[in-house]
Amino acid sequence: MMKDTLQRSTQYFKTYEEREEAFRKGVFSLIPRKYSGPKLFWKDFSKISFEEVLSLIKQPVAYITSNPRDCLVYGTPWQVLTAARLYACKAVKRSVLSADQAAKAFDVYETLHQPIRTLSGGETVKLALAKSYLYSAYSRRLTIASPFSWLSRDNVPYFDRLFQHYVDLGIPVELLALEGEDSNEPIMCKDVFCQETKKPVDFHVFLKNIKILLGSSLNPIYSPDAYAVVDDLEADLLSPCIIVGENGQGKSLVAKVLAGAISFQGDAKIRREDKCGPARLLFQDVITQTLLRSFETIAASPYAGSRANTLAIFEKILKQYFLYLDNSTDKPTDIGSAGGADFRSLLEIKAILVAARLCGQPCALILDEPDWGLNRASAIAFVLSIINVSHKLGSPVFLISHKPWWINIAKSTIRVKRTAKKIDKAQNYSFQIQVSHGVT
């Protein structure tokens, strides 16, 4: 019964841009587009009027953005849930869950006083689900962008809980998804995609005595500073290597350590051929990674080498992308100029960010949840085109994903699992990230 209701509530779109436009209309166009540079953002921002804000006040909508972090405006989960509860208590006379109860119901209680900036993608979306649960007291509709993109299979019941809650209250639910994003089917080995993956690149990974400060607590009385300790690892691996684990287990933390993207104690490096050093990383939150820079600004970044070389790699990625799509029954139009000369699609932005990183021939390239913002066919073609181009440049590729799509193309695997939280001698909350590996 719930499955049928879910299907009726879900609209599927071929591209991120189409899905975002539908989502923006659903929230009265109050969220500017950020994926194609500052010009488009400020154009949307300048059009926000008092009438649109008033419409949202008169017809309150609970919503979760495609990046759940964008709909969380406070510093900690406790502040987010407390604010939501205050609104709910004003709207209804019945009892409303407390912030602690909502946090426990959606498994974010341990992070209640942790800075939101330190939460994993899975923890962030569970917090957004908990907030929306409280908002049901006064909302007339629930709209969610890409509900199946962020949650691992073990965490889907939290989404189901929110969905069923709104259904039981008779409040309409609108789910806006990309085609195939809810698929759990791996790429089959007989597919042309697997046959076209080139000779794997070998490399060596070294992690020793890694300790990561997750960020100073905003409420040290309730929650001291939190740390993560990573198991030592020394292994010869093959690319593409997939880093797997459920939401919140530490996949992205390990990736950021390997890329030197966060401060940490200890030693971490990747060695391939005659080079040794950090990897380069494409975040899951790729729009934030652009820093609202335009396509041309990213291409001309001094960290990427020459603009000409960056654009040459960009063109190779797109050429390979379309070759893979030619072997697919579905050919979405991710490339185009529907928004005018200043418009670039999310796929193009992701591709130029990758090109800028490959231009320096890094020791490895890490793609964090690379399917985000792409439908299944585009995501597969995009990932395999990057593997192809990266391998030709001698750079191994890591894929971070909770989806089973990539299992059959992985030549090696790193498994990440987080232990329960504990308190060390210095009264700091910490957890250990267990790391294991294998070669296919």
Query: In this predicted structure, what is the pLDDT of residue 93?
Result: 64
The domains of the chain are located at: 2-178, 192-439
The one-digit pLDDT tens for each residue of the chain (440 residues) are 566 777 778 999 999 999 999 998 888 777 888 877 788 888 888 877 766 666 666 778 899 998 888 889 888 999 999 999 998 888 776 678 889 999 999 999 988 888 888 888 888 999 999 999 999 988 899 999 988 888 778 888 999 999 999 999 999 999 999 999 989 888 875 554 454 455 678 999 999 999 888 765 555 555 566 788 888 999 999 999 999 888 778 888 899 999 998 889 999 999 988 789 999 999 887 888 887 788 888 888 766 567 888 999 999 999 999 988 876 544 444 554 444 445 788 999 999 999 999 998 899 999 999 999 999 999 999 999 999 999 999 999 999 988 889 988 899 999 888 886 665 555 455 667 777 777 76
Is CATH 3.40.50.300 correct for 192-439? yes
Class of domain 2-178 (CATH, top level): alpha beta
- For residue 21, what is the enclosing H or E element? helix 16-26
Query: In this predicted structure, what is the pLDDT of residue 2?
Result: 64
Q: Which residue has the tokens 């909770």?
A: 402
User: Side by side, which strands form the sheet with 61-64?
Assistant: 10-13, 173-178, 141-145, 61-64
In whole angstroms, what is the distance from residue 416 CA to residue 119 CA? 16
The contacts of residue 357 (CB under 8 Å, 6+ apart) are: 280, 281, 282, 304, 365
Q: The dihedral of CA 371, 375, 378, 381: what is its sign?
A: positive
What's the whole-model pTM score?
Answer: 0.85
Hey, do 2-178 and 192-439 end up sharing a CATH topology, with the first three levels equal?
A: yes
Instruction: Provide the residue type at 247 as one letter.
Output: N
Q: The dihedral of CA 58, 62, 66, 71: what is its sign?
A: positive
Query: In this predicted structure, what is the pLDDT of residue 432?
Result: 74
Is beta strand 429-439 parallel, antiparallel or unpaired with respect to 422-423? antiparallel
**Half-sphere exposure at residue 332, Cβ-oriented, CA atoms within 13 angstroms:** 26
